[in-house]
Amino acid sequence: MIKPLIIANWKCNPTGIKQAKALFNSVKNGVKGIKRRKVIICPPFIYLPMLKGLSLGAQNCFWEKEGAYTGEISCPMLKSLCQYVLVGHSERRKYFNEKDEINNKLKAVLDAKLIPVLCVGETQEQRNQDKTEAVLKEQIISALDSISSSRFSSVIIAYEPVWAIGTGNPCDVEEAQKMKLLIQKIISKIYSSNISFKTPVLYGGSVKSNNAEGYVKEAGFNGLLVGGASLDAREFIEIVKQAV
Ligand code: PGA
């Protein structure tokens, strides 16, 4: 059994180093006694070198290793600072029009021997139009284009319905479970059922301490990707407790 992975996505928060350290240390102390869990904090890039004692991830990366790309952060740069990288988060897709580059980013993360967390999910409009399955298929197939099964073996997938992110309107557990099975079916078609079975699939989208348990214990997700609630140490620690 894979240990549940509980990932905190701090997004563009908090605005100061002092608050970042305080939040991190509260979480670190609060989860100390909780066994059988893996907590990963994804803060803004600049806080990565300052935070020690829990696993860390980046929220994004650039696909080239180096060069004249103003403002970008490459995977070799991240290598000594963190272990995980979120790729294709819906906010990157929405505000930065990320689509085709997601495959390049995923490859760059794997090249650097970092662990990618590939985020996929449909919008409300796509769901209303009955396009959820097609959207998930397209997002997964395009992101994994020309990635061999042996390279894929370290990839983590996060199902994050866009309509559930930051809305306080989480996907219900039964529906989320269906989407997990669908994602596994897509992965098994690309690779094999054995590989699909071993791929960790996380749920994200308005996770709180009062709904965390269902995704892991009922729907069988291998962990959670938590946005808003991860900025409140007490609430996040409670989520970790509920999920293990
Ligand atoms: P949320 O965000 O928990 O605030 O809905 C989840 C995410 O964007 O990863």
Q: Which of 6, 8, 76 is nearest to 47 (CA)?
A: 8
Average pLDDT, the chain: 97
Q: Which of 93, 185, 177, 212 is nearest to 143 (CA)?
A: 93
The owner of tokens 């600072």 is 81
- Bridge partners (DSSP) listed for residue 84: 57, 115
pTM for the predicted model, two decimal places: 0.97
Is the separation of the CB atoms in 106 and 152 below 8 Å? no
Residue 155 falls in which region: left (phi positive, over 0), alpha (psi -120 to 50) or beta: beta
Tell me what pLDDT residue 171 has: 97
Give the tokens for residue 11. 């997004």
User: Is the predicted pLDDT of residue 230 greater than 70, yes or no?
Assistant: yes
- If you average pLDDT over residues 97-106, what whole number do you get? 96
User: How far is residue 160 CA from its own chain's centroid?
Assistant: 8
pLDDT single digits (tens) 76-99: 999 999 999 999 999 999 999 999
- The active-site residue out of 66, 72, 89, 218 is 89
Q: Which residues contact 190 (CB under 8 A, 6 or more apart)?
A: 140, 141, 144
pLDDT single digits (tens) 121-173: 999 999 999 999 999 999 999 999 999 999 999 999 999 999 999 999 999 99
Query: What's the rounded Cα separation, in Å, for the pair 215 and 148?
Result: 29
* Residue nearest ligand 1's atom 3 by CA: 227
Å from CA of 89 to ligand 1 middle? 10
Q: How confident is the model at residue 36 (pLDDT cuts 50, 70, 90)?
A: confident
Give the tokens for residue 39. 């907590």
Query: What's the rounded Cα separation, in Å, for the pair 226 and 236?
Result: 8
User: Is the predicted pLDDT of residue 1 greater than 70, yes or no?
Assistant: no
Atom of ligand 1 nearest to the CA of 7: 9
Give the tokens for residue 239. 């989520």
Burial class, 68, CB count within 10 angstroms (exposed 0-12 / middle 13-18 / buried 19+): exposed
Mutational test site, ligand 1, from 91, 207, 209, 231, max ligand atoms within 8 Å of CB: 207
Q: How confident is the model at residue 241 (pLDDT cuts 50, 70, 90)?
A: very high
CA atoms within 13 A on the CB side of 89: 21
Atom of ligand 1 nearest to the CA of 86: 9
